[in-house]
Amino acid sequence: MRTPAVMIVGLVLCPCGLLLTLTGTLAPNWRQVSLIPEQPSDLILEQGIWDLCRERQSSHDRLCGQEDELSYFKEVPVQVARGMMPSSLVLTVLGLVVAALGVRCWQKEPQHALAGASGLVLLLSGLLSLVPASWYTHELEVLPAPSGATLAVGYSLVLSYLGSCLEILGGVALTLSFHHCCKERRASKTTPSPVLEPGPRSVTGAYSNPWDVLEDERDGRHGRSTLPCDSDL
């Protein structure tokens, strides 16, 4: 049996979403701070959820592990992202393992119920990573930053958004596998029971004389009679 298209879509989108979400979680560039007063004009401060980096665009010198002087990491959106992004990654890996067991391309037929369950897990993982990314974007201008600096969205936040959307789409595609289970149950309920063909009727009555046998054959009440014909009487 060919693998259903919804399963193929889910198994393609979800690993891509996992890769993008992983990159967005680890890379320290959720927000870019530039044009900082009393600092070189080419200096950019990159803020992530785990680290702070400084980079000079002219020389491409990059230095991470900067001290958090503004208590950036203590803000609630950053703390929430620190908790929900790794949880989303763990759920995505778990969902992909369950999806691989459910699709089972090397078997004759996939396990639709197991594939649908993996879709629910992957859908939840996409929502878990989408919530902190959305919250961080909403609080982008409020989070601590040097006064007078220019704030911009970093590439890590964009990758987190894209990865979350791909995981949600892939999870929805795999969840559609439940439709096949419902179709199978509906088909099993509407399948008519086999009709048994009537067998030859047994003769329950005894004939007392040959004339009764001849009369029974003429009436045809038993169809083709298995009794001896009149020539044998």
Domain boundaries, the chain: 5-29+73-145+155-184
CA pseudo-torsion sign 68, 69, 74, 80: negative
5-29+73-145+155-184: CATH topology is Butyryl-CoA Dehydrogenase, subunit A; domain 3 (1.20.140)
User: CA 40 to CA 161: how far, in whole Å?
Assistant: 31
Q: How far apart are the first and last CA of the chain?
A: 64
Tens-binned pLDDT, residue by residue, of the chain (233 aa): 577 788 888 899 999 999 999 999 999 999 999 988 888 888 999 999 999 999 988 888 889 988 888 899 999 999 999 999 999 999 999 999 998 888 875 667 778 888 889 999 999 999 999 999 999 999 999 999 888 899 999 999 999 999 999 999 999 999 998 876 655 565 555 655 554 455 554 444 454 555 554 565 555 554 544 545 444 44
| CA pair distance 200, 131, nearest whole angstrom | 73
